Structure 1
């Protein structure tokens, strides 16, 4: 729990420990002394409700990493998938998730979103 005059919500970073963009996001928040919680998707998969929070705000396609090796190896570029099928794939294969997924309260981002993160850290809540 954050304390002090700027008791902001804890920022959750979902990603893979060895992923460069995930490490950059964690470093971004640590350098600004923002309280974060990191969830390694290889150790603990994202909960369906948590993934739904991201897909409702950003769309399932925004979270699907079409450049990932997992996407290419599975031949998913040849399939037509609706949002439900994409979400099902994302739940079972963290290699398909565009990283990092970052959440602050009800606000979410995917990928590098430093302007939004800066606004969160400054306390304005959005871009």
Structure 2
């Protein structure tokens, strides 16, 4: 089943939910303000994005929301500290984070990738 991690007030999260609803693709919504990703869920998202990005460090950069008000606290960290900062403050993630099982995940609106998930 597809999981959508986001917040109820995030417009891109709402668009993702609508996209899956319109195609009658079942999904589970997880509000990051109420319940964050577990370490295992976070790890599978990073692994999946790093396969597409080429490296784990690039994946962490892609997962971070550069428009977040807290991005400055993340931007100047050592690469080794960035992953832990993202896990600790998951509202820094580029939303929505969508997972399809343990091997596929996206951050942001990635309709072209989602089309292959049907």
Query: Structure 2 length as normaliser, TM-score?
Result: 0.84
TM superposition outliers: structure 1 runs of 4+ over 4 Å: none
- Aligned-partner Cα distance in 1 for 2:77–2:28: 35
Q: Does 2:16 match 1:20?
A: no
Q: Which runs of 5+ in 2 are unaligned?
A: 50-58
Q: Does 2:47 match 1:56?
A: yes
Q: Which runs of 5+ in 1 are unaligned?
A: 1-9, 122-127
Structure 1 or 2, whichever has the larger Rg, is 1
Q: How many residues align?
A: 108
Structure 2 residue aligned with 1:87, among 54, 58, 83? 83
SS of residue matched to 1:120: coil
CA contact (8 A) 1:64 1:86 kept: no
SS of residue matched to 1:108: strand
